[in-house]
A and B are shown apart, each in its own frame.
Chain A
């Protein structure tokens, strides 16, 4: 199983960024999103489609329907730059998307 993500997404500071993830019947599964900055370990920003772990800003939100899940970052800040990975279970295996590099220009 594959989860497809656009390689690069660019956004201006203060604007809304949308990062998508596509996969077979993705809407029937829970999706998580992880942020990874250069040289750092991944950080969970969204799990079970829409939930934010403690400490994650409200500007991060998620949705999932049909074959596409979306991570939305409202009022994007320069600190939000990094790689974003979607993740879901398919059967008895965890699948990660290939990652999207978010640049804030």
Chain B
């Protein structure tokens, strides 16, 4: 069964750093593109970042560019989101999602078909 599980959230002070993890089971991260999507309390979905299946393309939303960085471990089972200079506006549930459509090109569209339960980041 395809599954992703996020962890690493917590309560931090403004200006702090935090690292989120996304562990994949049932598939390898080198097979599918992966996204981080966040949702602030009572708000809609906001795309944060994505990495292509081959790890070559790392893409970031404007609100996190320069502050957040993606990485993957060599086993290709865990993806990380390194977050720095956190602000109150970064408070959200952070979801990891596997994309079965997007490989490397935006022309492929997206199919974020596997989502985790999310991990909560509170900056206060």
Contacts and interface: CB of A to CB of B under 8 A. Distances in A.
B44 A92 contact: no
Contacts, number: 84
Instruction: Classify the secondary structure of A's interface with B.
Output: strand
Interface size bracket, B side? 20 to 34
Which interface class (under 10, 10 to 19, 20 to 34, 35 or more) fits A? 20 to 34
B45 interface: yes
B44 A98 contact: yes
Contact of A99 (B45, B47, B107): B45
A105 B118 CA distance: 30
A32 B107 CA distance: 13
Contact of A41 (B44, B59, B102, B117): B117
Nearest to A49: B109
B124 to A, nearest CB: 22
Interface string A1-32: 00000000000000000000000000001111
Interface of A: 29-32, 34, 36, 41-44, 47-49, 51, 53, 83, 85, 87-99
Interface of B: 35, 37, 44-47, 50, 57, 59, 61-62, 95, 97, 100-102, 106-113, 115-118
29 contacts: A29-B106, A30-B101, A30-B107, A32-B110, A32-B112, A34-B45, A41-B95, A41-B115, A41-B116, A42-B45, A42-B95, A44-B113, A47-B100, A47-B101, A47-B109, A47-B110, A48-B101, A85-B44, A87-B47, A89-B110, A90-B106, A93-B47, A93-B59, A94-B47, A94-B59, A95-B47, A96-B37, A96-B45, A96-B47
